[in-house]
Amino acid sequence: MLVPIRSANPPSGQAPTAYSEPPVPPARESEPRVLKPRRAAPADAVRPTRAEVNLQALRHNLGVVKRHAGSAHVWAVLKADGYGHGAPAVARTLERAGADGFCVALLEEAIELRDAGILLPIMVMGGYYGGAHAELVHRGLVPVVYDLAQIEGFARLVRSGAASGPIDVHVKIDTGMARLGVTLETLAPFAAALARFPEVRVRGLMTHLACADALEPAETTEQMVRFDEATALLARHGVRPTVRHAANSAALLRGQALLDAARPGVALFGVAPRSVGGATRGTPLGVGLRPVMSVRSEVIDIRDVAQGAPVGYGALWRAPRPSRIATIPMGYADGLSRQLSNRGHVLIRGKRAPIVGAVSMDMSMLDVTDLPGVSVRDEAVVLGSQEGPLGKDCVSADEIADHAGTIPWEVLTSISRRVPRFYREP
């Protein structure tokens, strides 16, 4: 059996030795242990491939988002490690810059933020607590709930004296996403049953929008009508949440569904959701957002190949002319999608070089035949902008998403933990 050296969950009784961290008190039988993932610290980084996170741009984007939000609170969504930017550093910056709270998908993500010293309210949207209700309450986190078993779990804590009540929760309503949330059909019995759990208080009511970035606002309008119906139904049962929230980045930038709070994610990282499905695809919804992450590597090798020579796995590209090929140490295991094989571009010396052949796990090849003067150690920009002797250009998350057949959200969250993050305060 293979034993991972850097296991985050060492065999019981044995202290972790491969990395240093404060000793973890032994978990009691009844307490589920929350595993703490970690990435290579920048100090460990030898490879030239790295992600730079511009905290000044992040603060700027928070300002743009806050202006759009008006009087609504801004709860920054930092799931998936802050959309790949490193949630603790992003949260620290946004906390100081005036965000009103944070939202994450997982309890583990919330705990990582509390461990990093974040004091603002943190909402756990995914709704799975796996029996760790006590940990959630003791960490001062705000749970999203959508079924009675979850509510019962929190009520039991108060009844047993393990927590003092009432415990505040936000109830999620499914208004047309068919993902999570109480449906309108089942809301009446749900609301009636809430009376059995006075230990739990419904402070917030939320829903999630499926089509906020659509060309036509009709779907969103319809979802919001259902959300109002749900609100009224709950009120008839004496349940009156003080905070209602629905808007994601797209809705917020459009000024739609701005209730008491908004939950923007991707806009904070400088991506303006584009309207989809129509002639104006590509029209950004928000102006003035600045990209926060850039991903840079270096040319590590250059070779000249003859006309007709194959490049990369499967010989997916053959040189149509005598060509100069540069290799960069970034591949699909770093988050450079294999869909970019023979499609994407990387910037060198301020100019675009096409990715040629298959993107492999750790490396990719570029055709630099038309870029005079490229040499080993030249910077290669995979995501972001570059200025050099040959010009000035930018590869955006939108562009990469188009080439890879996906959305910018996936481009950002795909940059893997093997790529160390460096934080810049220009």
Ligand X SMILES: *Cc1c(COP(=O)(O)O)cnc(C)c1O
CB of 176 to ligand X, least distance (A): 13
Extract the tokens encoding 63.
């300002």
Q: Which one-letter DSSP state was computed for residue 265? A: -
Name which of 102 and 190 has its Cβ closer to ligand X.
102
Q: Applying CB under 6 A, which of residues 34, 57, 77, 253 lies at the interface with ligand X? A: 77
If one asks whether residue 167 binds ligand X (CB under 6 A), the answer comes out as: no
Q: Which residue has the tokens 């850097």?
A: 6
Nearest Cα neighbor of 127 from 79, 160, 198, 185 is 79
| CA dist list (Å): 358 to 302, 304, 335, 347 | 17, 18, 14, 18
Name which of 168 and 378 has its Cβ closer to ligand X.
168
CB of 84 to ligand X, least distance (A): 12
Which bin fits 288, alpha (ψ -120 to 50), beta or left (φ > 0)?
left
CA 384, CA 243: separation in Å to the nearest integer? 38
Extract the tokens encoding 245.
């929230």
Name which of 85 and 263 has its Cβ closer to ligand X.
263
CB of 250 to ligand X, least distance (A): 6
Residue 172: count other Cβ atoms within 10 Å of its Cβ: 22
Q: Applying CB under 6 A, which of residues 85, 208, 296, 324 lies at the interface with ligand X? A: 208
Give the containing element (helix H, strand E) for 35: none
| CA dist list (Å): 205 to 111, 143, 186, 238, 315 | 23, 11, 15, 14, 55
Q: How many residues bind ligand X (CB under 6 A)?
A: 12
Q: Of the residues 19, 36, 128, 313, which is catalytic?
A: 313
Name which of 253 and 346 has its Cβ closer to ligand X.
253
Q: Applying CB under 6 A, which of residues 74, 125, 142, 374 lies at the interface with ligand X? A: 125
Which ranges constitute the DSSP H helices of 165-217? 184-194
Name which of 208 and 254 has its Cβ closer to ligand X.
208
List b or e across 129-155, with b for residues whose CB sees 16 or more CB atoms inside 10 angstroms: beebbbbbbebebbbbbbebebbbbbb
Q: Which of residues 246-275 bind ligand X (CB under 6 A)?
A: 248-250, 263-267
CB of 263 to ligand X, least distance (A): 4
Point out which span in 10-18, 245-253, 302-310, 397-405 binds ligand X (CB under 6 A).
Answer: 245-253
According to DSSP, the β-strands at 261-262 and 73-77 are: parallel
Q: Which of residues 310-339 bind ligand X (CB under 6 A)?
A: none
CB of 213 to ligand X, least distance (A): 8
Name which of 270 and 357 has its Cβ closer to ligand X.
270
The residue whose Cβ lies closest to ligand X is: 265
Name which of 331 and 408 has its Cβ closer to ligand X.
408
Tell me if 384 sits within 8 A of 392, measured CB to CB: no
Extract the runs of DSSP E, i.e. beta strands, from 166-292.
167-174, 182-183, 200-206, 243-247, 261-262
Name which of 266 and 336 has its Cβ closer to ligand X.
266
First to last CA, the chain: 48
Q: Of the residues 79, 146, 172, 351, which is catalytic?
A: 79
- 303 has which bridge partners? 325
Q: Which residue has the tokens 């059995």?
A: 196
**Could you give the 3-state DSSP secondary structure of residue 87?**
helix
CB of 238 to ligand X, least distance (A): 26
Q: Which one-letter DSSP state was computed for residue 345? A: E
CB of 262 to ligand X, least distance (A): 9
CA 381, CA 404: separation in Å to the nearest integer? 17
Residue 240: count other Cβ atoms within 10 Å of its Cβ: 11
CB of 75 to ligand X, least distance (A): 9
79 tagged catalytic: yes
313 tagged catalytic: yes
Point out which span in 215-223, 243-251, 280-288, 375-383 binds ligand X (CB under 6 A).
Answer: 243-251
* Residues at the contact surface with ligand X, assessed by CB under 6 A: 77, 79, 125, 208, 248-250, 263-267
Catalytic amino acids?
79, 313
